[in-house]
Amino acid sequence: MNTYPQIRVGIAGATGYAGQELLALLARHPNVQVGTAMSSSADSAARPLPRLARVFTGQVEPLNPDKLAGESDVVFLAVPEQAAATLAPPLVSSGVRVIDLSGAFRIRDTAARSRWYPATKTLPHGAAYGLTEHYKNDVRHASLVANPGCYPTAALLALLPLSKAGLLDASAGVIVDAKSGISGAGRAPSDRTHFSENHGSVAAYGVFNHRHVAEMEQELGASTTFVPHLVPLDRGILETIYARLKPGVTESQVAEAFAASYGNEPFVRLTGDALPEIKHVAWTNFCDIGWRLDGASGRIVLVAVLDNLVKGAAGQALQNFNVACGFDERTALL
């Protein structure tokens, strides 16, 4: 018999790609009672989700903030940032813990936040940036966890060990060249995500104006050139990251920095000079990181891969939930 506590969980935005992924994970969590699963709008009709047949037996109902607050101990927000900016503060004020998958609460600097997420005027007291492997203690005590973006998750997991060990030459800046599957653009259809536009093609977008740069620079303290590309895959991210290390840094120092950061972390796998691929992590909560170092010039190339809907969204959110609630962080993820 399961004697662990049951946490009443509510989800807003359960019909999107990340929301459905999250609902599927939560439905098999032994310590979760999914009480309410709602859409992103009060105008949508109640409906079943065919993908979750025999996984989640309930229906997704229209968004009802009062019911969400009244029937939940923890609420996951998988809604656009404007909606999250409105929903989260009263939830937190009523004593409900919030894990937000949007970008609404990721940026601490007021000026940067007003540029990229203008709907978010202030951060709720007790908000934490939820890059689990690096801010676990913050997540444990947070009233609101701002789940990182999919692109920053891969980039920061690859770069922060070098930065924290004092090996990264931050003055040289970093370059993040990223490829993402189409699900990263969300479920709402557009010309960019149309099959006939994507099949057989690769396209760069968001050059010099992608809001995920703000997260990367916030956590790294280094100028970041970020160029994302849309590739004809349904899911997955591969980032090729170019940086410089301080003079004299050796291969063994790099390996030691990664081992120190992730030796006991269940969801980061270090591959060394065997560079990882998207197919190694699809449908999992793993982030795989490999690297090659040119010691003579101090240049390092890192390759980080993850599933944008799992480790880049729903899986990391559930990992943060497990940490916040005192469960084994692998629960329902491994």
Helices (H) and strands (E) in the chain, counts: 10, 13
**Residue 206: HSE in the Cβ half-sphere, 13 Å Cα cutoff:** 20
Q: Round to whole Å and give the CA distance between 128 and 139.
A: 6
| Placement of tokens 């007003």 in the chain | 114
DSSP string, 252-273: HHHHHHHHHHHTT-TTEEEEET
Residue closest to 77 by CA, chosen among 5, 128, 16? 16
Q: What is the DSSP letter of 149?
A: P
Query: Which residue blocks in 109-201 are alpha helix, DSSP H?
Result: 110-116, 136-141, 150-164, 195-198
Spell out where the chain has E strands: 7-12, 32-38, 74-77, 97-100, 127-129, 144-146, 174-180, 203-204, 224-230, 237-244, 268-272, 287-294, 299-306
Q: Round to whole Å and give the CA distance between 103 and 125.
A: 17
Interior CA angle at 45 toward 44 and 49, to 5°?
100
Q: Round to whole Å and give the CA distance between 111 and 183.
A: 30
3-class SS of residue 218: helix
| Placement of tokens 């557009």 in the chain | 190
Instruction: Note the Cα 88 to chain centre separation in Å.
Output: 18
Q: Show which residues are catalytic.
A: 150
Q: What is the edge-to-edge ordering of all strands in the sheet holding 203-204?
A: 203-204, 224-230, 174-180, 237-244, 299-306, 287-294, 268-272
